Structure 1
Amino acid sequence: MRLLRFVRTLLVLGVATFAALLLYGYARSHPEDLPWTALDLSQPVGLFTGRKLAGLGGEGPRCRALLDRAGVEYTALPPRGSRGAGGQCGYEDGVRLRRGGALAIDYRPEGLGTSCPVAAALALWEWHVVQPAALAHFGEEVASIDHFGSYSCRRLYGRAEGAMSEHAAANAVDIAGFRLAGGGRITIARDWRGDGPEAAFLRDVRDGACRLYATVLSPDYNQAHADHLHLDQARRGAMGWRGCR
């Protein structure tokens, strides 16, 4: 009887040790899938990449250092405050991405400035989502992205009362469409519905954005988003809820 218990104990310890070694090996080769590892923009998108990006809010120097290490060219924006909405608007860690270096996409209109966490996610979105989807559906890359802007001192849906929009801190961007290198154009308003490659592409880039942003809202959410994708990095805690619709 004692021998049987001893053998069982050895088996349990052996299985536990094997599982620990497997976990250790996986952690070493897939740090992007673990919540406690540091964010690295050169790594693949993992299970916790989106939460780590949202967690960069208020960490301007660290966020800009990540962009630097990844070869992303940008201009750091001066802090901006506003007396509107009771002084609840403004940002301190804004950046403006520049085409060149590690980035091949322009933003139209020019001069798009966002919070650094939104910009870092845009870079990953280009590399891991937008360009692969464009190549898969059209055989060519995206040259530029059309947008409706980022910073806007307002409350949700422009209401007179209620919670502030993430746009009030430049912590969101509204994407209107994409221009291909060959001149073709895909827009949310025109191409979201349907069965063609344009609609499939738009759903792919929406779904991919959901792995990188705290909130992603599309025409599937409501009429207010019929012509754009809303992408934001709302900070809701390490295990806060994430919205993707």
Structure 2
Amino acid sequence: MRRVHALARWIVIIGAILSLLLVGYAYLSKRPQDLPWTPLDLSQPVGLFTGRKLAALGPSPDQCRALLDRAGVAYTAMPPTGSGQCHYSDAVRLKGGEDAILLSPASVAPACPVAAALKLWEWHIVQPAAQRHFGQPVRTISHFGSFSCRRLYGRSEGDFSEHATANAIDIAAFVLEDGRRVSVVNDWTGDDKDAAAFLRSVRDGACSLFSTVLSPDYNAAHRDHLHLDQADRGDFGWRACR
């Protein structure tokens, strides 16, 4: 029993030390977004807990839309649709602009936490990667959709996909400013090293913003797209990135 109490005491002590180190790091580096208890701010660079904070927005559509408003993101809030396991109440349709990446088809309306993560992905991951590898920005992101009433992997039984609540989007390709198309199906294992490196950069960067990121490295079902979703697995939930 004494050993159990001693172990518990050491766990508490170590936890307190780690928390103090985290606070000290965030304070000295002036990065409050690296702390788990600070409010999410879309105007800040991506922090250690940004992804978890985005996923936790699921039950709070008003809070999520307020974040988009404060960040100057143009969107249209969609009316609730569906019923049972296949429904959404917080979907938004992002609007394109002079400096914003267009989604194609433009009619897609993912859940607000997915849309918020897409904007951070655009600002901090996709565009910087495009400039590094191609010397130009991305103008359009092609996708395979968001809302789809289906179970995981199209099965007839089992858990429903995050697509069933518009809490996911499948990214197929990126169109650069000069019209060049970089697609997952053609360039993930293609001969163009810059295109392949770009796709892996945006995949890896998405892992800090989305709960689940699945690419061709995961399985054959994802050979032509990147699956991004915001499954809420709790404060200490695991994250999938492959």
Provide TM-score, normalisation by structure 1.
0.87
Against the structure 1 CA distance between its residues 36 and 110, is the aligned structure 2 distance closer, same or farther, given a 3 Å change threshold? same
Tell me if the contact between 2:57 and 2:63 (Cα under 8 Å) persists in the aligned partners: yes
The one-letter code matched in structure 1 to 2:68 is L
Q: For residues 177 and 20 of structure 1, what CA distance do their matches in structure 2 show? A: 43
Q: For residues 72 and 144 of structure 1, what CA distance do their matches in structure 2 show? A: 16
1:97-120 deviations in Å (ceiling 9; x for gaps): 11127x510011121100000000
SS of corresponding position for 2:139: strand
Hey, what does 1:128 align to over in structure 2?
Answer: 124
The answer to whether 1:40 aligns with 2:76 is no
Hey, what does 2:70 align to over in structure 1?
Answer: 69
Hey, what does 1:27 align to over in structure 2?
Answer: 27
The answer to whether 1:100 aligns with 2:97 is yes
Q: For residues 148 and 163 of structure 2, what CA distance do their matches in structure 1 show? A: 5
Hey, what does 1:9 align to over in structure 2?
Answer: none
The answer to whether 1:228 aligns with 2:229 is no
Aligned pairs (5 A) from 1:1-245? 23-24=23-24, 26-27=26-27, 29-82=30-83, 87-100=84-97, 104-194=100-190, 196-245=193-242
Q: Displacement of 1:27 after TM fit?
A: 3.1
Hey, what does 2:8 align to over in structure 1?
Answer: none
Hey, what does 1:11 align to over in structure 2?
Answer: none
The one-letter code matched in structure 2 to 1:223 is A
The one-letter code matched in structure 1 to 2:97 is G
Q: Displacement of 1:22 after TM fit?
A: 9.2
The one-letter code matched in structure 2 to 1:53 is L
Tell which structure's C-alpha radius of gyration is larger: 1
Identical aligned residues as a percent: 66
Tell me if the contact between 2:137 and 2:177 (Cα under 8 Å) persists in the aligned partners: yes
1:166-215 deviations in Å (ceiling 9; x for gaps): 00000000000000011100000000014610000000000000000000
Hey, what does 1:16 align to over in structure 2?
Answer: none
Against the structure 1 CA distance between its residues 143 and 21, is the aligned structure 2 distance closer, same or farther, given a 3 Å change threshold? closer
Q: Which moved more, 1:135-144 or 1:25-34?
A: 25-34
| Runs of 5+ unmatched residues, structure 2 | 1-18
Q: Displacement of 1:23 after TM fit?
A: 3.7
Tell me if the contact between 1:27 and 1:34 (Cα under 8 Å) persists in the aligned partners: no
Q: For residues 239 and 212 of structure 2, what CA distance do their matches in structure 1 show? A: 6
Q: For residues 21 and 211 of structure 2, what CA distance do their matches in structure 1 show? A: 32
Q: Displacement of 1:56 after TM fit?
A: 0.3
Q: Displacement of 1:20 after TM fit?
A: 6.0
Q: For residues 147 and 134 of structure 1, what CA distance do their matches in structure 2 show? A: 18
How many residues are aligned here? 223
Q: For residues 172 and 115 of structure 1, what CA distance do their matches in structure 2 show? A: 7
Q: For residues 69 and 230 of structure 2, what CA distance do their matches in structure 1 show? A: 20
The one-letter code matched in structure 1 to 2:63 is R
Against the structure 1 CA distance between its residues 140 and 160, is the aligned structure 2 distance closer, same or farther, given a 3 Å change threshold? same
Q: For residues 180 and 51 of structure 2, what CA distance do their matches in structure 1 show? A: 30
SS of corresponding position for 2:76: strand
The one-letter code matched in structure 1 to 2:198 is F
Provide TM-score, normalisation by structure 2.
0.88
- Please tell me the root mean square deviation across aligned C-alpha atoms, in Å: 1.8
Q: For residues 170 and 22 of structure 2, what CA distance do their matches in structure 1 show? A: 42
The one-letter code matched in structure 1 to 2:72 is G
Tell me if the contact between 2:142 and 2:171 (Cα under 8 Å) persists in the aligned partners: yes
